[in-house]
Structure 1
């Protein structure tokens, strides 16, 4: 019962955290954009996209932790759990050290990495930003062991409360720093300090509350070898994600400059919010999926869970996606300024095709739990390479929209067409049942979509008062239509019970 409450509370707190994050972002981002300026904001995004590649040094071991912890937990093998903790702490501490040396090399070669589109002042700022971000990442590697332990123990309430506190505090600390004129450097320093405090909270919680044990007596090389093989394909997935979500900013930085990166970066920020909406639900089911596979590996039960979570994700994402199609452009213009108008079209190229894999992202954890994630990694790597090949000429010719279009094509081919075949034919999930359940919701979208089309044709949505009224009406129409035409009793009860 306690774990079920943790699951429910974890999902609820995830959405509270995200809701607070979105509200704060709506209020804070316009101020931040104007205080930083378009070029500085673009530079911040550009440096972030490059430093994020150091995250690949984790080699996907973080995802492997939950799988092997679940195996030992089912067997109630506390000794091997302690050895696992010790081994992961050693490995990730070493990775953190490597990331520092790799980061030093990046800082020394900043001019070569970013090309000649940046000014000398931008290069100097980029070096400072890169150094701070690298330090932040180096600390996060060993600290991630404790966060993984909290996840494996399904202690979502603590985990999400820490996240909420960080979300709320961040803008209140950052804004005065920006007003004092410290710009992106001050913003990155604040982020680093808050991350360190959050990691310390996780460590204290693991040691004092969860009684986390470590054993450093024997380093299990055979287990390390097994995990390396398992994680190698997760590493490929990480590499692919980096290419799909960060390479466009790097290409634009080299070929178009920081302003183009800023426009793309705002669209990518909106897309990241969209991605987080889906993963908030599926992430809390990761330990359950691993237990189900370790215990019975029942494809029928896995299909039911996969579909149940997918339907909830689709209901939520269809509201956000359709709402953004109708209201996204006036929102961006009023929120960020008309010099970010192109961000709307870039965001559409990113958001619309990613909706299908987002409602299926629990399938990724099912693949990993079954140790059948290798095929996905190989296919996605090929698609990511094609994405880069397409995006280079399109970024040169059409800027951010061209780069986003290249990413969109790779998402459709890899994430939608090939992976649905793989889930059905190889993983053993009944995708016919899945899509039958998903398409049964689509009839509930007809009325709100009709209302949305009438609104953009008949109403000036660039007036903030009319915008808010129309957006509210759209949400109400969508909710009523979904309640009566789309949702089943289980989904309705998810709303009835808390009320």
Structure 2
């Protein structure tokens, strides 16, 4: 895409995506919907499920109208917001802003669909939708680029695939569940319950988005589209790592809700947290080791030497996730017990700190300064602050979790990392063939070391069961 449309247009592509995020915040209603749905399902209250979804649909439609008004007003001030863009870039930005903004308004009322899939435990279908939508976007984009289409077509493809996915999810839900929407339904009590829960969830969602996604906007204000393009590679790879690591996210909301609806036993939740955390650490461990050892070569082979500065940005953006991505169960517990207020406050302070630091650092260090502001804020608040919150407020034995999950697997990770660094020192990847051979060697060593030194009996049996599913039985 970058080679086809150029750094400047790619910077605009990233800028409009990150800018529109601020207008598509669902004010925590998505998490609130998922939480209440899981609760009603655990209690076999199917009528309340329909009432809840009828109410949230009306609320989403109302917010969508407000969002459309805000987008129209902002359109007339684009040139005053992004003063580092030249006249030609402003004109292009306005066109893609209209295309992407229109899709945002249309798709916004359907943001609760994922919560419905999670509450009804239709995880496979949900993940397939995510995977197929990404593959669809890539395939259509490749075709568009080969046919000579440029920036506008690429934005339109994202919107087109998004609409198809929404239509499929809607049809699937109505065909396979008893859900029916009644727009005439009203309930002041349920509305108050929703917003009392969602207000802090909303603040948390806004803060989480601002921490990283504000960076392209700040770079657009202080640096320009080329800096945005370089920084966006860091955001892109960080999002891949997050997507891979969060494959299990949301799957345990019904499980945790069930545990706490029958018992307030923290020990059960802690053991589930350790079990899931170790699996997630096993999954992301190879990604982190691969990125540290081979990341720079990969970026140069993939994007070219002019994107070399993207490598330290990637390392800084993914670093905090090594600690936080394994704590999905603790995060789920927040929503189940409606204790999200404290975490929301921590993240809001983190977002403000990140923005202030970035504003000061970007004029001196450019894209690296933006990444520095983010990582400093995340380490202080997301890694240290949130874990203190889990320990003090949530009464989760976080020290036991760290010992059973992180510290027990850390020696094996260190061994593989040392092997990868040594391999990278002696052999340089001059092309993708050599690169993939190196990556394969590191992956093989990773599996062997983890198998013999870190994985327990349950985790080995889990891997073997997955292997057997994809291996034909030769005896038959």
Find the aligned partners of 2:117 and 2:249 in 1 and give their Cα distance: 16
- Structure 2 unmatched runs, 5+: 468-476
Q: Deviations over 1:234-260 (max 9, x none)?
A: 111111112111111111111110000
Matching residue of 1:99: 67
Residues of 2 paired with 1:427 and 1:284: CA distance? 21
Q: Structure 2 CA distance, aligned partners of 1:147 and 1:440? A: 34
Residue equivalent to 2:288: 321
Q: Residues 410-429 of structure 1: matches in 2 within 5 Å?
A: 410-429=377-396
Q: Which range moves more in the overlay, 260-269 or 105-114?
A: 105-114
Secondary structure at the counterpart of residue 497 of structure 1: helix
TM-aligned CA deviation for residue 463 of structure 1: 4.1
Structure 2 CA distance for aligned equivalents of residues 276 and 160 of structure 1: 11
2:20 aligned to 51, 54, 59, which one?
Answer: 51
Bigger shift: 171-180 or 337-346? Answer: 171-180
How has the CA–CA distance of structure 1 residues 303 and 193 changed in structure 2, closer, same or farther, with 3 Å as cutoff? Answer: same
Aligned mates of 1:346, 1:148 — CA distance in 2: 32
| In 1, Cα distance between equivalents of 2:283 and 2:112 | 31
Per the TM alignment, residue 217 of structure 1 is displaced from its structure 2 partner at its CA by 4.2
Q: Are positions 1:127 and 2:127 aligned together?
A: no
CA contact (8 A) 1:83 1:216 kept: no
**1:359 is paired with a residue of what secondary structure?**
coil
The Cα shift of 1:230 comes to 1.0
Gaps of 5+ in 1: 1-31
Shift of 1:71: 2.3
Q: Helix, strand or coil: the match of 1:498?
A: helix
Aligned to 2:230: 263
Instruction: Write the distance in 1 (CA, Å) between the matches of 2:116 and 2:57.
Output: 11
Indicate the RMSD between aligned Cα atoms, in angstroms.
1.5
CA distance in 1, matches of 2:130, 2:335: 26
1:151 is aligned to 118
1:299 and 1:322 map into 2 onto residues whose CA distance is 33
Q: Tell me: CA distance 1:342–1:297, structure 2 relative to 1, closer, same or farther (3 Å).
A: same
2:471 is matched with none
**How has the CA–CA distance of structure 1 residues 465 and 68 changed in structure 2, closer, same or farther, with 3 Å as cutoff?**
closer
Question: Is the aligned partner of 1:435 residue 2:402?
Answer: yes
> What whole-Å deviation, never above 9, does each CA across 1:398-449 have from its counterpart, x for those lacking one?
0111110110011111111111121122212121210111211112123212
Question: Aligned pair count?
Answer: 466
Quote the residue 1:372 is aligned against.
Answer: 339
Counterpart of 2:472? none
The 1:402–1:462 alpha-carbon spacing in structure 2 relative to 1, beyond 3 Å, is farther
Structure-1 residue corresponding to 2:376: 409
Q: How many Å separate the matches in 1 of 2:189 and 2:95?
A: 41
State whether structure 2 residue 255 is matched by structure 1 residue 288: yes
Quote the residue 1:330 is aligned against.
297
TM-score when normalising by structure 1: 0.90
- Equivalent positions of 1:375-394 (< 5 A) are 375-394=342-361
CA distance in 2, matches of 1:95, 1:361: 29
- Establish whether residue 87 from structure 1 lines up as the match of residue 55 from structure 2: yes
**Cα offsets for 1:154-180 (capped at 9, x unmatched):** 112222333333222222222232334
Distance in 2 (alpha carbons) for counterparts of 1:382 and 1:245: 14
CA distance in structure 1 between the partners assigned to 2:69 and 2:340 by the alignment: 31
Q: Output aligned runs, 1:409-488, within 5 Å.
A: 409-438=376-405, 439-488=407-456
Q: Aligned to 2:32, which of 54, 57, 64?
A: 64
Partner Cα separation in structure 1 for residue 273 and residue 107 of structure 2: 31
The within-5 A match list for 1:344-383 is 344-383=311-350
In the other structure, the counterpart of 1:273 is: 240
Deviation larger for 353-362 or 332-341 = 353-362
Asked whether the 8 Å contact 1:66–1:287 carries over to 2, the reply is no
**Contact residue 263 and residue 340 of structure 1 kept, 8 A:** yes
